[in-house]
Structure 1
């Protein structure tokens, strides 16, 4: 009897996750269609798949952690590309009846680590030359966009950690260990603020004189694959998110990959994101090495 009841609950929950994926796709498509129309692109096909990640039982209560994987085939002029995004959600059931269902919002790493420009080392005497291999940085971004390299520590808010890994895969050298407020590095479970905190990486890119260096440019169309975009969603001067450019669309504008809310080949502007506000500000950084330092 108990096994039959359990099987019935499992079937109901699986049905809920599949149905929720379809509803979320419809909601997301409303924003996505407008965002595409603004740049003369259209959605050719959409697909959403729900997957249960974890279930916990407590008496007659059941908590279900699940993800929804969205895919949008987008056509712009004669170009086709696949944009992907993953949303993690949690649903709670009582005796098999849904009580609540909501998106899982990661804890804000920024609140725990508040390094700013004043605490970062901007002019170290050491000089670390390197050639930035953009192809390898993009290959890494594509390989790990929806998974996590076990060689590195994983964060709940993982966007900047992921971008740092991509830059390092492209050849950018670490420096500054073991001072967390200096340089840009990760070693084991220890790391600099600039490696893992969005606002700190933004300041580091703006001021680093050795090792990993960047130059701010005025518009996104100046970026090329392997470059970085920083996002201040609230427009309050504190940057919340970072992405890496992996391709350009038919109009020469960036398509980006990101972690935390894992996404691939997403249009850089994020106007279809739930985090978007009209106050949003962006910073555009092209990565420098010995071959591009004076361009």
Structure 2
């Protein structure tokens, strides 16, 4: 089984940099990714993939294997080279030891507390004891995002749907002060094995950043190109008003467009628009927030 999966990965790596030669091994997701690169005059010039089996379930003549693949893509964009990385979770089905099906698991977005983050009706009470000035260190936020993009810091709680928790950690490491404990509907914090909705829920963070008057806060801008390192993008994949995902800007391409890091489906230096995501729909909406601090007046 491992040999068949290894052959599959080798074919996918070849597909990243050339036309697929074998229909059996063709991966539609790779073709979508290549098309999204081509739209902005970029291309994958080299690719590498490493797989790791996470779980194997056997029942008579059938077997199911859950595995993880770490992809690395060397991207060329208008003469600029950069490395994009992502981790895919996949499921393979075998019958009598022969691979009969292999698919990427859907990119789960949202939050473990999503039901709590649907409405923006949470308190923004400005308690004096919570009013802490700060200077946002964008470099430190990005350095943290790079260190932990494919790992989990044991100093923080880990969630199955971890995207907003990861972004909160990056912002906190950049100097944003926690405030509001222990009211989960107030402020932005993680403390004593508890946390605010705005810390861990994508939709709650989407409303907290522009609504906050002190501590972690930000200003909405009208275009992704206006975002700086350490800024935040919020995603409403269905366009239904409930935001599902959060990323942090960690780089820019040759056109000055953001490249982002994210958790849940861990990715690094991914193009901000997420058009290659299984969660993407034509109805997608974005919110672009530049983080402000006490140096902004």
Give the TM-score normalised by structure 1: 0.87
Mark the CA change 1:23 to 1:277 in structure 2 (over 3 Å): closer, same or farther.
farther
Number of positions where the alignment pairs a residue of Structure 1 with one of Structure 2: 281
Ranges in structure 1 where 5+ consecutive residues have no aligned partner: 1-12
**1:39 — aligned with what?**
40
Mark the CA change 1:216 to 1:63 in structure 2 (over 3 Å): closer, same or farther.
same
Mark the CA change 1:129 to 1:263 in structure 2 (over 3 Å): closer, same or farther.
same
Is residue 148 of structure 2 the alignment partner of residue 148 of structure 1? Answer: no
Aligned residue for 2:175, secondary structure, equals coil
Out of 253, 259, 262, the position equivalent to 2:257 is: 253
**1:64 — aligned with what?**
65
Name the stretch that deviates more: 49-58 or 231-240. Answer: 49-58
**1:282 — aligned with what?**
286
Aligned residue for 2:161, secondary structure, equals coil
For the 8 Å contact 2:117–2:202, the answer to whether it is kept is no
**2:4 — aligned with what?**
16
Q: Which runs of structure 2 are paired with 1:42-57 in the superposition (5 Å)?
A: 42-56=43-57
Deviation at residue 147 of structure 1 after TM alignment:
0.8
- State the alpha-carbon separation in 2 of the partners of residues 115 and 181 from structure 1: 12
Q: CA RMSD in A?
A: 2.1
Mark the CA change 1:265 to 1:34 in structure 2 (over 3 Å): closer, same or farther.
same
Aligned residue for 1:221, secondary structure, equals helix
Name the stretch that deviates more: 192-201 or 45-54. Answer: 45-54
Over residues 83-135 of structure 1, what are the superposed CA-to-partner deviations in whole Å (9 max), with x where a residue is unaligned?
11111123344553456544344485254433532123254444210111111
- State the alpha-carbon separation in 1 of the partners of residues 294 and 60 from structure 2: 62
Aligned residue for 1:285, secondary structure, equals strand
For the 8 Å contact 1:120–1:204, the answer to whether it is kept is no
Name the stretch that deviates more: 272-281 or 191-200. Answer: 272-281
